[in-house]
A and B are shown apart, each in its own frame.
Chain A
């Protein structure tokens, strides 16, 4: 006789597939927010499963800061080709050129906050009513209270005190013209679950996640990669280290860690022994205690 229960990864997978199908059924024009990071790659993989043998019935959308790891863009284009789905690109550079936003100044300037405007503009101009993201509740304290189906008003804003209650698995995606939702199919996954699943399913991810010799500079307690956007301070110097990245964001703010993990097995082992959260290396989250909550309220991912 077979066992009639699922293991935890199968249950998380089934839950995510269920959420993705609900999105498709309840919205007219959803997209997957694709950053090229492991979480959005995972969501895309789960969407492939949710609609098989049909292809993913909606586009992927990339908010391009212009400060990318070059590899991320190639990875994105390969996935799009493989899936045969449409790609929508929202460009932060265009938002800057059009005067919608102004570039931050100074050493730690990033285009992180600028993405909010580009994202909301892209959602509006493409008439998107649901943007599916790879956000997880274990990432950050403001995310711990996020719903699977999360309402945004017609300014794209999140009101954490006025969220719709979500009971059992009945999701309410009803909305008025101009409003949209964010959907988070992997809400209940932890970083460890993501790695265990990527390992089990052997999902392709950018080599940035694997340890390689890389040129980096030590800044704000982590190794920032050398790039054309990096402005060195007098006391700083570029060194070569064996580095991998736990998360992939803007190349200007994503800190790497010293590591020997160059296979999925080694990464999973390394992550299980980690004593720092993965966002601990993201300078965008270090700005204040409620940095994430403040950005989420404005419409961030």
Chain B
């Protein structure tokens, strides 16, 4: 691995039979990320279940119940590395009842892989995955048209799927869509270029993942620093030290920058940017540092340090695309705790504007129930202002979760409109 190698997180969503597990198995196997004892364990299980040969799909199911039922229930994280990048796969189930897990996996992803069976073309599930990728603003979407071996590697079949996809995806907000014809089973265009599809001029999947430009995936314009905790060492060398510990959510801060503390509105200048290893002149997302200021100001967890010439909006009424994650449905006008970066307040869902049918993308303004896996546009009022950006511009300062104080469970995740 080289020093400047980056980390790319991608999500794969799919059901049992669209080849998702085979594709992941192929990526891991061909990049030599499956160890012999893991392979041995899978071989044993394959034999026990009476399968012919080794079922690579078994590598991707983890928990006892999942193995017994042959399905994926929860998000599983997989890792592999090539000489160019480190990859984290958020492997999520594709069925509608697991929408919440797809949303979870998508929330941190740079890229989404959407699998389409070349024989069946775009189906409801394809639309669902694409909608979630768009809703969660995954910067790059790769549509893999799989099982090309079963349609004689036909360019016509491939183009037909692309046309179908483009027809419905025009309604979605995805900036970077690519199409790759593959056969996960035979390895065509996964790691190695296919010998059967000379008409395809693009790169295989792995090469695409290794080279796509991801440095711009994080907002580098709006400088935002949510304070996690305050560091006060009280030792001889740092007697009066008061550092604000946090991770830069977006943008760039430099020593000497004029900053404003939200929500108090006090202003100061950055005195130093510290880490154990060194003192820095500038810091950018997603670095974790300690920042000190020229002036003594009362700052605590939940406050946000921003550049004075570019401030987020402090608001108490927000519109949110909300995904309900819990078995207990939303209680109308009930109070929840809302978490936004390191800030926590109380909040109430005031109105459900519409609910989205995630298979047809139709909006339903009549149905006012929020049940598990529902995605709705809602109006929320908070007890104190949150310092927000729109999710479209900033995935960190544009996202929230709701917590039910009676159970302490996370019940919803929202993207600020």
Which residues in A have some Cβ–Cβ distance to B below 8 Å? Answer: 2-8, 10-15, 17-18, 21-22, 24-25, 48-55, 137-138, 141-142, 144-145, 160-161, 163-170, 172, 174-176, 187-188, 190, 192-193, 196, 274-277, 280, 289-290, 293
Interface pairs (29), CB distance under 8 Å:
A4-B215, A4-B252, A8-B85, A18-B228, A18-B247, A21-B229, A24-B229, A25-B228, A50-B245, A52-B231, A53-B274, A137-B77, A137-B79, A141-B61, A142-B63, A144-B62, A144-B76, A145-B74, A165-B100, A165-B410, A165-B413, A168-B399, A169-B247, A170-B339, A170-B340, A172-B339, A172-B403, A176-B408, A192-B81
- Within 8 Å CB of B85, what residues of A? 8
Closest CB-CB distance, A194 to chain B, in whole Å?
A: 12
Cβ contact within 8 Å between A168 and B35: no
- Asked whether B164 is an interface residue with its Cβ less than 8 Å from the other chain, the reply is no
Cβ contact within 8 Å between A274 and B35: yes
A18–B6 Cα distance when bound, in Å, is 19
Least CB separation from A84: chain B residue: B235
A17–B243 Cα distance when bound, in Å, is 15
Cβ contact within 8 Å between A21 and B228: yes
- Within 8 Å CB of B1, what residues of A? 8, 196
Cβ contact within 8 Å between B81 and A4: no
Proximity bits, B133-164, A CB within 8 Å = 1, else 0:
00000000000000000000000000000000
Residue with the greatest number of chain B CB neighbours at <10 A, chosen from A3, A7, A161: A7
Cβ contact within 8 Å between A187 and B77: yes
Known: A6-B287, A188-B77. A54 touches B232 (CB 8 A): yes
Known: A24-B229, A52-B290, A170-B339. A17 touches B63 (CB 8 A): no
- Asked whether B36 is an interface residue with its Cβ less than 8 Å from the other chain, the reply is yes
- Within 8 Å CB of B340, what residues of A? 170
Cβ contact within 8 Å between A172 and B410: yes
Closest CB-CB distance, A80 to chain B, in whole Å?
A: 17
A50–B401 Cα distance when bound, in Å, is 25
Cβ contact within 8 Å between B241 and A53: yes
Known: A8-B86, A277-B38, A290-B64. A53 touches B103 (CB 8 A): no
Known: A24-B229, A167-B107. A17 touches B100 (CB 8 A): no
Known: A8-B86, A21-B229, A274-B35. A144 touches B77 (CB 8 A): yes
Cβ contact within 8 Å between B63 and A145: yes
How many interface residues does chain B have, given as a range?
A: 35 or more
- Asked whether B30 is an interface residue with its Cβ less than 8 Å from the other chain, the reply is no
Cβ contact within 8 Å between A48 and B35: no
Cβ contact within 8 Å between A280 and B235: no
List CB contacts (< 8 Å) of B266-296 with chain A. Answer: 274-277, 282, 284, 286-288, 290
- Asked whether B7 is an interface residue with its Cβ less than 8 Å from the other chain, the reply is yes
Least CB separation from A275: chain B residue: B36
Cβ contact within 8 Å between A167 and B104: yes
Contact partner, A276, options B36, B81, B241, B245, Cβ 8 Å: B36
Closest CB-CB distance, B399 to chain A, in whole Å?
A: 5
Known: A11-B286, A21-B288, A277-B35. A5 touches B215 (CB 8 A): yes
- Within 8 Å CB of A164, what residues of B? 409-410
Contact partner, A289, options B5, B45, B74, B410, Cβ 8 Å: B45
A204–B241 Cα distance when bound, in Å, is 28
Which residues in B have some Cβ–Cβ distance to A below 8 Å? Answer: 1, 3-7, 35-38, 41, 45, 61-65, 67, 73-79, 81, 85-86, 88, 100-101, 103-104, 107-108, 214-215, 220, 228-229, 231-235, 237-238, 241, 243, 245-247, 252, 274-277, 282, 284, 286-288, 290, 301, 325, 337, 339-342, 395-396, 399-401, 403, 405, 408-410, 413
Least CB separation from A49: chain B residue: B276
- Within 8 Å CB of B36, what residues of A? 275-276
Cβ contact within 8 Å between B103 and A167: yes
Cβ contact within 8 Å between A25 and B215: no
Cβ contact within 8 Å between A53 and B238: yes
Contact partner, B275, options A52, A193, A276, A277, Cβ 8 Å: A52
Known: A14-B247, A160-B63, A161-B73. A188 touches B79 (CB 8 A): yes
Closest CB-CB distance, A124 to chain B, in whole Å?
A: 19
- Within 8 Å CB of B284, what residues of A? 4
A234–B183 Cα distance when bound, in Å, is 54
A168–B400 Cα distance when bound, in Å, is 9
Contact partner, A14, options B65, B104, B237, B286, Cβ 8 Å: B286
Least CB separation from A137: chain B residue: B77
Contact partner, A293, options B45, B64, B410, Cβ 8 Å: B64
A51–B274 Cα distance when bound, in Å, is 11
Residue with the greatest number of chain A CB neighbours at <10 A, chosen from B101, B107, B228, B409: B228
Least CB separation from A45: chain B residue: B276
Least CB separation from B100: chain A residue: A165
Closest CB-CB distance, B98 to chain A, in whole Å?
A: 11
Cβ contact within 8 Å between B37 and A277: yes
Cβ contact within 8 Å between A165 and B101: yes
Cβ contact within 8 Å between A18 and B288: yes
- Within 8 Å CB of B37, what residues of A? 276-277, 280
Cβ contact within 8 Å between A172 and B401: yes
- Within 8 Å CB of B341, what residues of A? 170
Cβ contact within 8 Å between A190 and B41: no
A52–B233 Cα distance when bound, in Å, is 8
A50–B62 Cα distance when bound, in Å, is 32
- Within 8 Å CB of B100, what residues of A? 165
Least CB separation from A193: chain B residue: B86
